[in-house]
A and B are shown apart, each in its own frame.
Chain A
Amino acid sequence: MNERQTSKEPRSGGDREGLLNRREALKAGAVGAVGAIGVLSGYTAARAAVDDKSAGQVRYAMVIDLRKCIGCHACSVACKSENNVPLGVWRTWVKQVERGGFPSTQRHFLPRLCNHCQEPACVEACPTRSAYQRDDGVVLVREERCIGCKLCMAACPYDARFFHPEKKIVNKCTFCVHRVDKGVVPSCVNTCQGNARIFGDLNDPDSDVAKLVARESVQVLKPELGTEPRVFYIGADTGTMGRVRKEI
């Protein structure tokens, strides 16, 4: 949102996602028409959830209803504060894209964070088992094991990981498990002005996230990669979902 052209170049930089999108798009056929976006029917998503290896247990997930997102960055700042995230790096941010010609110009928002994938590429990439996934699906970093090799950063197709300039290791969104494990929603959810961010247990059919995923046409980023993100979007503009770099 910093007037588009002024945002800091992401540290992991380059056009690699765009390349990947195009290559994967060729394989993915119809979905590939828009490259990085996939719309899951409620049925598909619900089945995916039931098929989770954590079925029967808690499976944390987030739904971001973009009809209610006003692009206000309350989440971006809440996260900085909650997790003492240094300047220059973000665990969550709001991407903003402008499209269309006057007077039908549009602006769309896409809050971004770690997708806490069911099949996290970062975990597989980590040579020290610092990157791991809990039984409830949350993908975390064991700080004491991280050697800062950045292989996980390269592996993550969503640019959700960053090198912490103070700790000199890799850092990322934790779904605020330090709050969640004590019974409080993540900080970004707590403060979302439009109640666009909804968090809960995907395996609990009575939870808001499970109901939304079952009822609405939810979208995930780059479904063709098979990472099975557990951050679902409702009403995302396809133009925002192509490149998921840290543009703010």
Chain B
Amino acid sequence: MSQITRRDLLKLGAASAGIAATGLGANMALGGTVRLAESGKDFSAETGKERQAIPSACWQCVTRDGIIGFVEDGRLVKIEGNPELPRTNGKLCARGQAGTNILYNPDRLLHPLKRVGKRGEGRWQQISWDDALGLLVDGGEIAGRKVKGLRALRDEGHPENFMFHYGRMKGSDGKIIKSHFLTAYGTKTIGNHTGICECTKWTAQELTWGSHYDNWDFDNTRFILNFGSNVLECHTNHVPMAQRCIAAMGRGVEMYTFDVRLSNTAAKSTEWVPIKPGTDLAVVLAMCHVLMANDLYDQPFIETYTNVSVEELKSHLATYTPEWAETISGVPAEKIRSIALAYGRAKPSVCISYRGAVMHYNGVQTERAILMLEAIAGNIDCPGGRCRAVGASWKFTFPTPKTKGKKLHILDGHKGAYAYPTHHASHQVFDMIRQGPERPDIYMIYCYNPVYVNGDVQGNIDLMKDEEKMPFIVACDVALSETAELADLVLPDATYLERWTCDDMVCPSQIKEFYIRQPMVKPLGSTRNFCDVVIDIAKRLGFDLGFESAEEFVRNGCENTPGVKEAGGFEYMKKHGAWYDRSAKPAYFSHAKAVDITGATLDEATGVYYNQQPGDTDYSSLDGKHAAKQYVAQKCGDGEAHRGFPPDSHRWKTGMLEIRSKALADKGFDAIPAWMAIPEHEAMGSDDLILTTYKVNVQTHSRSQNCKWLTEIYHENPAWIHPQVAQPLGVEDGDMITVTSSVGQITTKARVTEAITPGVVAISYHCGHWAWGGYASSKSCGENYGHACEPDCHNKWWGKGAHDKGPKVWRDGRGVHVNWIVPNAGDPIGGGQRWMDTVVKVAKA
């Protein structure tokens, strides 16, 4: 009937058109006179009133864009990008714009909670901050069981038995909590989450060019070669990189993406090149071979700044032909060859990489091979190439405590398991605690959900429930996560929209950008910025941090950081949110900088100029920390002293770009990147598949699913399988399947698609929460200690009435989490969690 109605209406056509043209409130401006601003202002759609604009910084992911919050009648209603920042040019992704959802989440934690039932039973008592901090500092009774507090551990001389494990803590938040509070307290049992993030990439870079974090200069590049980065959907510097990447493609720059799955990045690429998981290394080695064989190498760069010669490279790469790589990776040799030639000829070109390529058994060598490729092509630290990161460095005048702390040896995995776990092996912490003998008396998690984000979820839950091995668990977060649900004491944190931070993320324009986070509204309920809470905890323990609030700390940074200070300090930053030196030149070629070596000692064996201290015999005798501190310059291949590629404090290296790594050779690994097969993949049966996990453009890890606007768009994570896999199993699109690994089984929904490499199962890890609020878990909103500040939760439509068979089984509107079936296992060099290596079996459920 609706068809007829519309057709008839269309027939009426022009006859009635005139009626419509008499609109009210019409804009009578003449054509050619309208000039619209891109951003900076916002108005109420209802009243037309201008909204108050407050510049600040995002924290929906580690990118931490500059933002402007728009406040209407005391409520934050809108977030946009801050156009004053060159990083983002005023853009903001879906996640950043959904930040208001975190603030006003109906399941937000508003008050401290103390457990009264069994762990995980969900029975809580709302308590005051005074009681909560009393319990943390002086211990007490939790559900009939006595626990020790922070004071007792310190008094006993064992502050290290307080483990602080964080997920997100950057900029001045990290300075306050870690450098000041935890240091003064005396514990160095401080865990992070980089082991499950991208630490293989960082370890590889530290071994090779000394520092970690690579910036891809899309603004100036002529060709993009991509191994496993979903840069258009998610990246640690997402909004700055995505906009530059697509802008480069708009200029005609070609991008070739090697990925096991058609990500949106692959879809927008000139070509998606499907590849067998964990074989990027073979393709990169073959591309290095092609460059050398076709004289497409940058001889001056190789011989001046790297520690290998052209002849050595040719010899090392001789057998890595594209034909060889085809047998390993499944990528046709001709494709490898033609893309390598295009990359080599397009100079400057950039080879980008991320988790798809590196979170494997061979991830460190894969990333090192990519740096070798970039070095061969001469695309290092140059406009249009792969550059070392440039970020802001804030200056604070509060003296950092000099307490010599102690630590439990549970951060880096079992002894000898990993050669260089420079960013720790966070996925092993629970197993270390399980095995003992070293265990923390107090385990505190901050903005971190280890139960959900690590592999072997069941094992994590079982340990958290063990009151002998985990006597006192404290959680500080904005909502009850799967981990906080199992805690004894829960502290409600202020969201990033209610707090102060000096922030510092890398700018793709290779200039330093200083920006701050400031509150847009007062913290809701009795939530408190944990940076302020630690000041109180310190006072209760009898020491003073030297500042009274996070705001004072940020003010100090603004008043003492060169440049920011002269621009107007704290007042300027509160008004603008960000400052950068308008006359700053992008930092390229810092390795080539000539260095004054007056007073420095040359170590003949390594060519390093260093500041010799009494007792030093030569540079090679220094440990990583001292090597970094005493390094001055490198005598490079041209005989001159250059800044080179200095080591960071993690590990010893020379100032050359070390394609040949002594550190790796010392531990029995290939010194120059060579093919490294993945043991489990070598032993696969014919019906085995390789599981890969991934991220999407509207979710951030485990954290953003409590944002209604994001989870409305993405709330289910079916398992992608190719029709070639599905057909023999009798599985059709939408059928239920089981996916089984060595550590467990999930029942999920199949998405049979041509957008994935045969032999692979891809499941995103964003879905399947059983806590974290109603939007995420598909339970009803506001049922846990939440508040009804958001009437829109009644309009939630996904997952309504769906049958819940437990967290390991698919539920409509929620999906199922994949980490139930991923074992915790690190790569042998960096200890990075091998997210993309799990071998599984799929069957029709």
Question: What is the interface of chain A, defined by CB distance below 8 A to chain B?
Answer: 1-6, 8, 12, 14, 16, 19-20, 53, 55-59, 67-68, 70-74, 76-78, 80-84, 86-88, 98, 100-103, 105-108, 119-121, 123-125, 129, 131-136, 138, 140, 142, 151, 154-155, 157, 165-166, 174, 176-185, 187, 189-195, 199-207, 225-227, 248
Contacts and interface: CB of A to CB of B under 8 A. Distances in A.
A3 B3 contact: no
B556 interface: no
B30 interface: yes
B31 A203 contact: yes
B40 A204 contact: no
A87 B697 CA distance: 19
Interface in B90-110: 90-94, 97-98, 100
A57 B29 contact: yes
Interface residues of B, number: 102
Contact of B758 (A6, A102, A131): A102
Nearest to A131: B20
Given A98-B753, A180-B36, A184-B37, A56 B30 contact: yes
B247 A194 contact: yes
Contacts of B232: 70, 72
Taking each of A87, A200, A203, which has the highest tally of chain B beta carbons within 10 Å of its own beta carbon? A87
21 contacts: A1-B698, A1-B713, A2-B716, A58-B31, A70-B264, A71-B267, A71-B697, A72-B264, A72-B698, A84-B45, A86-B792, A87-B797, A102-B757, A124-B20, A135-B21, A176-B45, A185-B37, A187-B80, A193-B93, A194-B250, A225-B10
Contacts of B48: 178, 182
Contacts of A88: 712, 795, 797
B584 interface: no
B39 interface: yes
A38 B80 CA distance: 34
B536 interface: no
A110 B737 CA distance: 31
B714 interface: yes
Contact of A134 (B16, B27, B79): B27
B709 A81 contact: yes
Interface stretch (B169-177, B238-246, B362-370, B493-501): B238-246
B23 A135 contact: yes
Closest 9 CB pairs of A and B: A203-B31, A107-B267, A123-B20, A134-B23, A87-B795, A135-B26, A204-B32, A77-B94, A194-B246
Nearest to A102: B754
A97 B798 CA distance: 21
A88 B797 CA distance: 6
B605 interface: no
Interface in B1-34: 2-3, 5-7, 9-10, 12-14, 16-17, 19-34
Contact of A201 (B34, B41, B91, B709): B34
Contact of A179 (B7, B43, B100, B791): B43
Interface in B271-299: 272-274
A68 B272 contact: no
A187 B94 CA distance: 12
Interface of B: 2-3, 5-7, 9-10, 12-14, 16-17, 19-46, 48, 50, 77-81, 90-94, 97-98, 100, 232-233, 239, 242-243, 246-247, 249-250, 262, 264, 267-268, 272-274, 696-698, 708-710, 712-718, 722, 733-734, 751, 753-758, 791-793, 795-798, 812
Taking each of A77, A142, A183, A190, which has the highest tally of chain B beta carbons within 10 Å of its own beta carbon? A77
Contact of B30 (A6, A20, A58, A81): A58
Contact of B697 (A14, A73, A184): A73
Contacts of A78: 80, 92, 97
Contacts of B714: 1-2
A23 to B, nearest CB: 8
Contact of B80 (A103, A119, A190): A190
Contacts of B753: 98, 105
A191 B31 contact: no
A197 to B, nearest CB: 11
B34 A81 contact: no
Contact of B28 (A4, A57, A84, A200): A57
A81 B77 contact: yes
A76 B713 contact: yes
A151 B42 contact: no
A203 B17 contact: no
Contact of B242 (A16, A70, A73, A119): A70
A102 to B, nearest CB: 4
Taking each of A3, A55, A151, A189, which has the highest tally of chain B beta carbons within 10 Å of its own beta carbon? A3
B339 to A, nearest CB: 14
Given A102-B274, A103-B272, A135-B26, A58 B13 contact: no
A188 B666 CA distance: 55
Contacts of A20: 3, 6-7
B91 A191 contact: yes
B243 A194 contact: yes
Given A134-B26, A190-B80, A194-B246, A200 B36 contact: yes
Contacts of B758: 102
A87 B713 contact: no
A12 B44 CA distance: 29
Nearest to A154: B2
A125 B793 CA distance: 33
B43 A182 contact: yes
A184 B80 CA distance: 13
B268 A70 contact: yes
Contact of B13 (A53, A119, A194): A119
Contact of A58 (B27, B43, B77, B80): B27
Contacts of B712: 87-88
Given A178-B48, A195-B243, 11 more contacts: A70-B268, A83-B45, A84-B46, A87-B792, A100-B754, A134-B25, A135-B28, A138-B27, A182-B48, A195-B247, A199-B36
B795 A136 contact: no
B733 A226 contact: no
Contact of A174 (B37, B45, B243, B709): B45
A8 B716 CA distance: 12
A140 B698 CA distance: 29
Given A68-B250, A123-B20, A105 B27 contact: no
A124 to B, nearest CB: 5
A207 B204 CA distance: 49
Nearest to A196: B246
A133 B21 contact: yes
Given A80-B709, A155-B5, A193 B27 contact: no
A81 B79 contact: yes
A226 B734 CA distance: 39
B754 A74 contact: no
Contacts of A181: 27
A200 B709 contact: no
A132 B48 CA distance: 20
Contacts of A135: 21, 23, 26-28
A182 B20 contact: no
Contacts of B795: 86-88, 165-166
A226 B10 contact: yes
Contact of B3 (A19, A82, A184): A19
